[in-house]
A and B are shown apart, each in its own frame.
Chain A
Amino acid sequence: MNREPDERARVRAVLDRRHGAFEALVRDYQKLCWHIVFRMVGNPDDARDLCQETFLRVHRQLHQFRFECPLKAWIGRIAYTIALRHLERQRAAPSRCLDDQDENAIESIPDESFDSEAVLADEQQAARLRDAVAALPAVPRTLVTLFHLEELPIPEIATITGMNESTIKSHLFRARASLRGWLQRRGVNSR
């Protein structure tokens, strides 16, 4: 299915300031924006402000969109850049981060042995898995969300983050291993 004509019509509608066009666009992409920004900054209040900033920038710069990538990736890129700048400004480490022991554990755990499906036996364990994702550093945490939750293809994640594809894959493998380590240390049966 060709996405471009739809996106052109949609962008045209916003640029022509057709009533409700921008609101619909925001509604369609606000979840993606939240997932990127919140995973990056880890603070809901900041994330709300940054999501707003993202869409205001989208509105201002939409005339510059050249349809070289999906609109979703373009908006995601803006959200990621705004969140990254926010982190740089704050120079703050993510609120909850893997400690050294966790980092070492990443290397020692073979990725293939991690069966996250078994972890989701009940809601409590799902909550632990969420905590484990939240405990990842900002960038891998965001990549995990974009890949597993948003189900974006690796090239689109590369467009959003500006990273090359092998770096993204490497982050994803390492993140998965660290999730398994994190859960095992907290006594969650991951097999």
Chain B
Amino acid sequence: MKTPGRSVAIARALASEADGLPEDFAVQVASLAEAGAEARTRSWGDAALLAAFLAMVGICMVGWRTYGSPESGIGRDFSDLLVMAASQPLLMIGIAGVGLIQVLSYRGRVMIRAKEVEISGS
């Protein structure tokens, strides 16, 4: 089939019609896209931090089980968490401290994000 000829008249008629996009469309879309990319990166970062925290807790538990005092029975039996916590206070404080730092840094990131949304919305 032969190719149809182009029509200057149709092109001109269509070209004279203004497009309906706002003048700052490119700026708006670019900032939305950047915010989306940032959020995706952050959520991966959050997931990585959580995974690292869980891994660290796991390593602590393995260490506890391996090197825990055999007389206390702690190395073999995890049923009584309170007894375990009482017998290894420094380890528990360490885990709680890391957990607290994680929570505080997550809270900080959430607050920064909220501030950014507020600024971009205003």
Listed in ascending order, the chain A residues whose CB lies under 8 Å from chain B are 17, 20, 22-24, 26-27, 30-31, 34-35, 38, 44, 47-48, 51-52, 55-56, 59-60, 111, 116-117, 119-120, 123, 126-127, 129-130, 133, 144-145, 147-149, 151, 154, 166, 169-170, 172-173, 176, 179
Contacts and interface: CB of A to CB of B under 8 A. Distances in A.
Interface residues of B, number: 31
Contact of B20 (A48, A56, A147, A179): A48
Interface stretch (B27-35, B42-50, B81-89, B91-99): B27-35
A169 B1 CA distance: 7
Given A35-B14, A59-B37, A130-B16, 11 more contacts: A23-B26, A34-B19, A34-B21, A52-B32, A120-B9, A123-B16, A126-B12, A127-B13, A148-B6, A172-B4, A176-B4
Interface of B: 1-4, 6-17, 19-22, 25-30, 32-34, 36-37
A166 B3 CA distance: 9
Given A117-B9, A147-B4, A148-B7, A26 B14 contact: no
Given A48-B21, A172-B4, A149 B26 contact: no
Most buried by A among B8, B29, B30, B32: B29
A34 B4 contact: no
A144 B10 contact: yes
28 contacts: A23-B30, A26-B25, A31-B19, A34-B20, A38-B20, A48-B20, A52-B25, A59-B36, A60-B33, A116-B9, A117-B7, A117-B9, A126-B13, A129-B9, A129-B10, A133-B10, A147-B4, A148-B7, A148-B10, A148-B14, A149-B10, A151-B11, A166-B1, A169-B1, A169-B2, A169-B4, A170-B1, A173-B4
Contacts of B14: 35, 130, 133, 144-145, 148-149
A55 B12 CA distance: 27
